[in-house]
Amino acid sequence: MTVIGFIGLGNMGGPMSANLAQAGHRVRGFDLSAEAVATAAEAGVEAVASGAEAATGADIVVTMLPSGSHVLDCYGTNGGLLAAASPDTLFVDCSTIDVAHAREAAQMARAAGHRALDAPVSGGVVGATAGTLAFMVGGPEGDFAAAGPLLEAMGRRVVHCGESGAGQVAKMCNNMILAASTIAVSEAFVLGEKLGLSHQALYDVAANASGQCWSLSVNCPVPGPVPTSPANNDYRPGFATQLMIKDLGLARAAAEAAGVDAAIGLHAARMYEEFGAAGGIGRDFSAIITAIRDRSES
């Protein structure tokens, strides 16, 4: 039985830690929110009083936190995770954070005598609950192999992307594609509407032709063609616009730092920020079609 310290028991970390407990691991969980701790405890996670206590005696420490500064704080003097853990503990950060922070976190862990991976996820709360997340992992091959059973208890697809930070790079690039493709599919539906083409007809053509993509065939932004897409449920997330804005912010910072001409990605970031500020923040990100349609009214 593996002993796992789990820090950050929120919307994602709560169900992820519950799946680890259900897989037979001993999971010692901590969160600043007493409510999050209580919910995880009901699902079989052992509640402890601090992050340091969760890391003490753990074989693996998982973090699922809001941002890079939270991760560094928890690893370092504030949270004391690295100092509390036994030598050679495997630290797996599943949070979505910027690449520089991910590399710094891995360096801090190694300097303290531990092993480290960045392992951000896609699949959202639904995937976290069902244990079907996709993990994008950065770090040494040996550490990746050691984390395999843990990641497989929480997810369905696990990809080793390269050295430390590579998991975050993959996640950010994927979500930049996702934002741009969702906007492109939305514009096509609005143009089709204006010209008298039914949603179903456009779907039937594009889903079987070169316009096919996840934003069309799974997360279709209009109700009807894909009954399970958030558009059929008043755009309840799903993947909230707020999270897309966060991920596009990371992509923008990385593109600017790397000097990459990511014109479409940066434009998508601006469109999502405007949509969020105009009230879309809590809606599924595919609801951006409503803003495109509103702007297209003549």
Residues assigned a catalytic role: 171
Q: CA-based angle 179:103:2, to the nearest 5? A: 95
Instruction: Provide the angle, in degrees to the nearest 10, between the axes of the packed helices 166-194 and 99-111.
Output: 160
Distance CA(141)–CA(117), nearest Å, equals: 10
Which two structure tokens, joined as six digits, stand for 197? 């083409």
Span of 146-154, 213-221, 238-246, 255-263 interacting with ligand NAD by CB under 6 A: 238-246
| Binding region for ligand NAD (CB under 6 A) out of 11-19, 156-164, 223-231, 262-270 | 11-19
From candidates 19, 39, 56, 95, binder to ligand NAD by CB under 6 A: 95
- Of 19-27, 70-78, 189-197, 281-289: span binding ligand NAD (CB under 6 A): 70-78
The nearer residue to ligand NAD, 189 or 239, going by C-beta atoms, is 239
x-or-dash string of contact with ligand NAD, 22-41, rule CB under 6 A: --------xxxx--x-----
Using CB under 6 A as the binding rule, whether residue 230 contacts ligand NAD is answered as no
Pairwise CA distance, residues 233 & 214, whole Å:
18
Q: Which of residues 149-208 bind ligand NAD (CB under 6 A)?
A: none
Residue 13 or 225 having the CB closest to ligand NAD: 13
243 lies in the binding site for ligand NAD (CB under 6 A) = yes
Whether residue 71 contacts residue 63, with contact meaning beta carbons closer than 8 Å, is answered with yes
| 15 forms part of the interface with ligand NAD (CB under 6 A) | no
Toward ligand NAD, which CB reaches closer, 33 or 296? 33
The DSSP code for 137 is: E
Which of the ranges 61-69, 153-161, 274-282, 289-297 carries the binding residues for ligand NAD, by CB under 6 A?
A: 61-69
Residue closer to ligand NAD by CB (options 15, 221) is: 15
70 binds ligand NAD, rule: CB under 6 A? yes
CB 37 within 8 A of CB 10: no
Neighbours of 137 (CB within 10 A): 25
Choice between 143 and 247, CB closer to ligand NAD: 247
For residues 121 and 124, what is the distance between their CA atoms, to the nearest angstrom? 8
Of 4, 5, 8, 143, which one interacts with ligand NAD (CB under 6 A)? 8
Q: 58, 55, 51: which is closest to 73 by C-alpha? A: 51
Identify the residue whose tokens are 């405007």.
Answer: 274
Rg (CA), the chain: 20
Q: Which residue(s) pair with 158 in the sheet?
A: 135
Site string for ligand NAD, 103-122 (x = CB under 6 A): ------------------xx
Residue closer to ligand NAD (CB basis): 65 or 231: 65
Residues in the chain: 298
Distance CA 199, CA 189 (A): 7
Binds ligand NAD by CB under 6 A, chosen from 4, 48, 64, 147 = 64
Q: Which runs of E-coded beta strand occur in the chain? A: 3-7, 26-30, 46-47, 60-63, 90-93, 115-118, 121-122, 133-138, 155-162
* Both structure tokens of 126: 């639904």
* Number of chain residues interacting with ligand NAD (CB under 6 A): 29
CA atoms of 104 and 119, how far apart (whole Å): 14
Binding site for ligand NAD (CB under 6 A): 7-13, 30-33, 36, 51, 64-66, 70, 73-74, 79, 95-96, 121-122, 124-125, 239, 243, 246
